A and B are shown apart, each in its own frame.
Chain A
């Protein structure tokens, strides 16, 4: 494992019964990056995270986190990783202040100021009982506790699920503050593409247990081009377009997203015989949706995990 990599998986695979949920994952997360892990529900994101944390044994392959095989994690290894799960478990009878004391006693490198600042951003009264808090505020307490333990790596599994706009903004601000030194790393699974575009600098896309994209955000966008074609027939039924990721109807027109287009793609598009061909901008959302909307797997690209 390269010293600058915080996470490295090698052909990581997990079956549940006869179903492969994670397939041959070669995934690398460089130190200091914020990686958005994207995929539909059931794509294998949570299973991957559970294997990274050493909570679940891989069927085949391996994963190393912070230089150690996740299978052999000791408590001190886990204390270097901050992990929050969907739902944010907390003791409902505790006051927020007591959650802080509890954390201080159970974590050797507790940062009380970090806790205070994070909790304040979520607009939480430290005298309040956890059971009185809104879902977004409970998420705030959970994230504040995780960050105050000063982990080197933060793994957030869908932290924004069900958050109100204020808590969402607070969450984004907290992630930015956490990673500002450039030494700490975040793996963030999320469905909120606008938030991922803000806070992440790398993106990983999983489809059906496979990692189709693992690269920087700008590279991801830069490799995709889109065209809108005016034609009656479904262009995919006419002939193949090299690099085609996704084709969807747009009223009476067709929106084509193409990865790494070259002369062949361009001439294939021209030969489709459309009445009009218009190149259009690719938004981050377009790019992600193009991948998530299809399950056929051929035009993937990596930059991180190649070796």
Chain B
């Protein structure tokens, strides 16, 4: 998977990197145990400050998405839940609330929003199989 960053956009560069890795895992482009480039390597490749890469990796490691194996590098972690069930529900609700308010602002009704969401989930399932 190739990571790309665009300076001058609304999302900070570390956020762009973290989001792309999360999406890569969700869509199956990255699997459990896949290695990621080292902080230095990715910084060089993207021509960005190494601390920016370290910040993205740090966040993903804290959330249990990536793991660092001493002396071997950074890998996609086996999915384990670093958060309690209640915390996961809270985070999910937060994300859903954002979607709901956006869809209302944009003038979509309940069924249109649900269909859209279902299609996305189906597409993700399809991409993995």
Residues on the A chain within 8 Å of B40, using CB: 180
Knowing A177-B44, A180-B43, A218-B55, the reply to whether A201 touches B49 (Cβ < 8 A) is yes
A199 contacts B49, CB within 8 Å?
Answer: yes
Residues on the A chain within 8 Å of B14, using CB: 218
Complex interface bits, B42-69 against A, C-beta within 8 A gives 1, otherwise 0: 0110111111100100000000000000
Closest partner residue, chain A, to B44 (CB atom): A176
A221 contacts B12, CB within 8 Å?
Answer: yes
Among the interface residues A172, A198, A218, which one has the most CB atoms of the partner chain B within 10 A? A198
Among the interface residues A197, A199, A282, A284, which one has the most CB atoms of the partner chain B within 10 A? A197
How many angstroms between the C-alpha atoms of A56 and B95 in the bound complex? 55
A199 contacts B47, CB within 8 Å?
Answer: yes
Decide yes or no whether A193 CB sits under 8 A from chain B. yes
- B3 vs chain A, min Cβ distance (A): 14
A201 contacts B44, CB within 8 Å?
Answer: no
Decide yes or no whether B81 CB sits under 8 A from chain A. no
Decide yes or no whether B84 CB sits under 8 A from chain A. no
Residues on the A chain within 8 Å of B43, using CB: 176, 180
Decide yes or no whether A228 CB sits under 8 A from chain B. no
User: How many residues of B sit at the interface, in one of the four size bands?
Assistant: 20 to 34
B8 contacts A201, CB within 8 Å?
Answer: no
Complex interface bits, A201-215 against B, C-beta within 8 A gives 1, otherwise 0: 100000000000000
A284 contacts B44, CB within 8 Å?
Answer: no
Decide yes or no whether B7 CB sits under 8 A from chain A. yes
Decide yes or no whether A133 CB sits under 8 A from chain B. no
A176 contacts B10, CB within 8 Å?
Answer: no
Closest partner residue, chain B, to A33 (CB atom): B51
Decide yes or no whether A281 CB sits under 8 A from chain B. yes
Residues on the B chain within 8 Å of A21, using CB: none
A172 contacts B47, CB within 8 Å?
Answer: yes
How many angstroms between the C-alpha atoms of A198 and B17 in the bound complex? 13
- B102 vs chain A, min Cβ distance (A): 12
B50 contacts A179, CB within 8 Å?
Answer: yes
B49 contacts A176, CB within 8 Å?
Answer: yes
Closest partner residue, chain B, to A285 (CB atom): B8
Knowing A282-B10, A283-B9, the reply to whether A198 touches B50 (Cβ < 8 A) is no
Pairs across A and B, CB under 8 Å, 8 listed? A172-B47, A176-B48, A194-B7, A197-B7, A199-B49, A201-B52, A283-B10, A284-B12
Task: Kindly list the 4 A-B residue pairs having the minimum CB-CB distance in the complex, ordered from nearest.
Answer: A281-B10, A194-B7, A197-B7, A201-B51
Known: A201-B49, A281-B10, A282-B10. 8 other contacts (CB 8 A): A169-B47, A176-B47, A176-B50, A180-B44, A200-B49, A218-B12, A280-B10, A281-B11
